[in-house]
A and B are shown apart, each in its own frame.
Chain A
Amino acid sequence: MEHKPKIAIHKFASCSGCQLAFVNMGEDLIELLQLVDLVHMAEVGSMAPEDQQVDIAFIEGSITTPHDVDRLLKIRANSACLITIGACATSGGIQALRNNADSGEWMRSVYAKPEFIQSLSTSAAIANHVKVDFELWGCPVSSRQMFTAIRTLLYGVPPLSLREKVCQECKRRGNVCILVTQDAPCMGPVTRTGCGALCPSFGAPCYTCYGPAEGVNTASFGQRLIGLGLHPDQVARRFASINNAAPAFSEATRLFAGEEGKS
């Protein structure tokens, strides 16, 4: 029997939903556990220390405390391949909205003794602190994507990274475009594929869960949303969602929030 690759799933600031995507693999998870050793995953109780050598480390959650930074550096130093899973780890998550707020002020208004809280002023993506080998976007990630990434890495091949827009998958599914027929503010034309065009398939506009797609034109798209009747501030908020700190979206947020100031 050859060496069984070691896998760890580490949690930082997050809701654990991406770890759940892992658990939700169902039977595939049992199959997977015959191929790899899962040495660390808080959600299921295995807790090898951060300095245990692993082949693949999956990281869920964003970096929000000085202690997080220490843990992350240790993990990076001991992992052959490091993969972020989900919006929090990959772009900072919904909690990155605090990056533009006065976190000290917030802390004082929430906690009786804020001096006990050790927190950074920002919620940062993993890539802001260490080198990331591969990113799996989504809120949450799809278990299918995680599993394909692991399978491909077991073959010794880098996973395929599709960065096309949600619209492409929406059209493959034969959905009618609700932006065109109902003026719905669907974010599909700027959002990266991966969810299988889940929301538009049920007649709901896309919410940017998978972050910015490759080659987005947020300026033109934001103008179009204004043309559909949205206020510039509403356009800014459409971009300032789960992946608000992804550069393409934070720039767009600034662009349209600024436009409101002008109007």
Chain B
Amino acid sequence: MAEVPRYFPRARLAELISVVQRAGFRVIGPRVDQGALVYREIDGVEDLPQGLTDEQAPGHYRLAANGTQRHFSWANGMSAIKPFVYAPRERLWRVDRDTHGIHFRPLMSIAPRTAILGVRACDLSALILNDAHFLRNLYPDPYYRLRRENLLLIAVNCSHAASTCFCASTGDGPEVSGGYDLLLNELEEGYLVHSGSPSGDEILQKLATARPSRRQLDQARHQLDACRQQQRAMPPAPRLTGLMSRLDHPSWDAVAEQCLACGNCTAVCPTCFCHREVEAPALDGQSSVHRRDWDSCFNEDHSYLVGMLVRPDIKTRYRQWMTHKLATWQEQYGRSGCVGCGRCTTWCPVGIDFVAQARRVLEDEA
């Protein structure tokens, strides 16, 4: 990370986007869709939200005008980077039958070079966890790797935390600490920019920037300080392993009364990675395409084992989701699987509060 950032005024954000596009990347950025922010392809700065902030609460998400010119004055949207590296539905291979037998071949789609603009600290932490799962094992996932290697990450430090955010307590935010190519701090009148990689350097060199003023550096620091004041806090990781000795706690029954087992939480969670594999045979029976779809521990087939469901009811499925994410994940990947983004809480149709539920099981007062 460059010690001293550079500065450019807001009017020049369009230039940053076109420099990235000219370098051969499609640009994904936040866009408004059905009342929320989601990462989608953008053509230019005119597709970005402006003067909007998000109001999030359990089961609730609204965008509201905040009277600024800012493009990034919100906490987060429904999805993070996950769908761009781990596709929700992906064709893996196909098999063809002819007179000589059956033949398998991989179906690797070409991964376009993709820049993601507006990546948050929690998203980057989640990406490191995705890497740990998909790449750092005996069988690295080639589909994931192809997309991952073609990413250019333009992070933006948060200037506002939603009521559902708790990244400060998990140690994942709000300040971006690494893993990016470029890092922006959005100010009232423009942006501070750091480069974090050789690709970031190349782009930064093509951009007209100036030395920032003392006041601008202070503004960036104050924004981050304000973001650290969050309403929710997850208990520390060592405490979370205690969930495993409370598998019979009555609050699992209470949450099961409310939970719909709909799996929205696992789908929006930036670190959930479970999938199922599905066969799609051609009607003539001569070929078949094998694909993988996002799955969820809330689905029955996820725990199907030789004629029985290991987790037959909502209680055991909810308990699996929480204990894996917060406790057993620590053994598996060296840290809790939760990066404090709050999405599972915001996007739960019945507004189950993930932090509050963990605290109830641990009998931990907030």
Contact = CB atoms under 8 A, between A and B. Distances in A.
Interface string B341-358: 000001101110000000
13 contacts: A31-B283, A35-B283, A151-B283, A152-B281, A155-B281, A173-B88, A174-B83, A175-B34, A180-B59, A181-B61, A219-B257, A220-B259, A221-B349
User: Which 4 A-B pairs rank lowest in CB-CB distance, beginning with the nearest?
Assistant: A171-B267, A181-B35, A172-B88, A176-B34
A165 B283 contact: no
Contacts of B268: 171
B285 A167 contact: no
A257 interface: no
Contacts of A220: 257-260, 350
Contacts of A162: 301
B61 to A, nearest CB: 5
B296 A168 contact: yes
B163 to A, nearest CB: 14
A181 B62 contact: yes
A167 B33 contact: no
A79 B263 CA distance: 38
Contacts of B349: 167, 177, 179-180, 186, 189, 221, 224
B263 to A, nearest CB: 5
A110 to B, nearest CB: 40
B239 interface: no
A180 B60 contact: yes
B263 A167 contact: yes
B260 A165 contact: yes
Contacts of A219: 257
Contacts of B259: 217, 220
B36 interface: yes
Contacts of B300: 163-164, 214-215
Contacts, number: 125
Interface residues of A, number: 43
Interface residues of B, number: 45
A148 B278 CA distance: 12
A172 B267 contact: yes
B366 interface: no
A215 B313 contact: yes
Contacts of A207: none
A165 B301 CA distance: 12
Contacts of A189: 260, 262, 264, 349-350
Interface of B: 33-36, 38, 59-62, 78-79, 83, 88-89, 257-264, 267-268, 278, 280-285, 293-294, 296, 299-301, 313-314, 317, 346-347, 349-351
Nearest to B283: A31
B264 A177 contact: yes
Given A148-B281, A163-B300, A217-B314, 6 more contacts: A148-B280, A168-B296, A174-B88, A180-B36, A182-B35, A189-B350
B326 to A, nearest CB: 21
Nearest to A173: B88
A127 interface: no
A147 interface: yes
A210 to B, nearest CB: 14
Contacts of B296: 164, 168
Given A28-B283, A172-B267, A176-B38, A167 B262 contact: yes
A160 interface: yes
Contacts of A172: 88-89, 267, 293-294
A155 B285 CA distance: 8
A154 interface: yes
Nearest to B311: A215
A97 interface: no
A132 B253 CA distance: 35
B202 to A, nearest CB: 31
Taking each of B35, B282, B283, which has the highest tally of chain A beta carbons within 10 Å of its own beta carbon? Answer: B283
B365 to A, nearest CB: 26
Contacts of A155: 281, 285
A230 interface: no
